């Protein structure tokens, strides 16, 4: 993916899914993800992003190129924003080429990732490339949907990682409403420091 870096969500899933240790008794926690139908607007002006998220999504802002990640049980949604100097896809042919490069980069980066779908699409009028596939992280079988949206001089990446059994429901009830609400300026400011 972008800059050859593994998405933060992949690293976070390991931490979120790691088994606890110790002998102390703990309260049983439900891992079922149930996004609230009530959405709240969140703004991330540094990266020119505005969107709506379920009010009960546990959101943590992350360092660039990350924007945020949120979790429900064993599922993670994450967003990244990259300033791009290279020309971004403006035509259907360029978008198909970008999708092919994305698939190649994903294969090179993670040999255990099994691509099941790829397509070109739009997110609120912005060109996008999408990958859906399966992988195993920390002995958990996960499905991943990664949507790369090109706007202005930026590439935004929205990802959902969820257990395969929960994926269709979370894609429909969580990820689709989030993508439908996305508003982008295409202007990602340099991180300070």
104-126 residue pLDDT tens: 999 899 888 999 999 999 999 99
Report field, pTM of the whole predicted structure over 0.85 = no
Residue 22's pLDDT band (cuts 50, 70, 90): very low
For residues 16-38, average pLDDT: 52
Calculate mean pLDDT across residues 87-106: 96
What pLDDT was estimated at residue 51?
98
Average pLDDT, stretch 122-139?
Answer: 95
**Model confidence pLDDT, tens digit, residues 49-63:** 999 999 999 899 999
**Does 26 score more than 70 pLDDT?**
no
Q: What is the mean pLDDT of residues 158-182?
A: 95
Q: Domains of the chain (ranges plus CATH)?
A: 2-14+42-136+150-184 (3.40.1000.10)
- Give yes or no for residue 15 having a pLDDT over 90: no
Q: How confident is the model at residue 193 (pLDDT cuts 50, 70, 90)?
A: low
Is the pLDDT assigned to residue 147 strictly greater than 90?
Answer: yes
Q: What is the mean pLDDT of residues 40-47?
A: 97
Q: Of 167, 45, 41, 186, which is closest to residue 124 (Cα–Cα)?
A: 186
Q: What is the mean pLDDT of residues 89-113?
A: 94
pLDDT at res. 156: 98
- How far apart CA 121 and CA 144 sit, in angstroms, is 17
More reliable by pLDDT, 121 or 2: 121
Instruction: Report the C-alpha gap between 189 and 127 in whole angstroms.
Output: 21
**Residue 36: partners with Cβ closer than 8 Å, 6 or more residues away:** 54, 55, 56, 57
Mean pLDDT (the chain) is 86
């Amino acid at each position: 993916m972008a800059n050859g870096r593994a998405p933060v969500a992949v690293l976070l899933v390991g931490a979120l899914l790691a088994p606890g240790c110790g002998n102390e008794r703990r309260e049983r926690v439900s891992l079922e993800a149930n996004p609230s139908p009530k959405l709240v607007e969140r703004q991330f002006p540094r990266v020119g992003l505005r969107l709506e998220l379920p009010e009960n999504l546990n959101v943590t802002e992350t360092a660039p190129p990350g924007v945020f990640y949120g979790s429900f049980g064993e599922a993670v949604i994450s967003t990244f924003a990259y300033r791009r100097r290279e020309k971004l896809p403006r035509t259907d042919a360029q978008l198909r080429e970008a999708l092919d490069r994305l698939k190649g980069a994903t294969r090179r980066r993670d040999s255990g990732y099994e691509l099941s779908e790829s397509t070109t699409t739009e997110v609120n009028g912005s060109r996008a490339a999408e990958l859906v596939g399966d992988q195993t992280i920390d002995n958990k079988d996960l499905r991943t949907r990664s949507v790369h949206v090109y706007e202005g001089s930026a590439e935004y990446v929205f990802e959902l990682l969820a257990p395969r059994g929960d994926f269709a429901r979370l894609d429909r009830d969580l990820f689709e409403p989030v993508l439908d609400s996305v508003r982008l300026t295409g202007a990602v400011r340099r991180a300070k420091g």
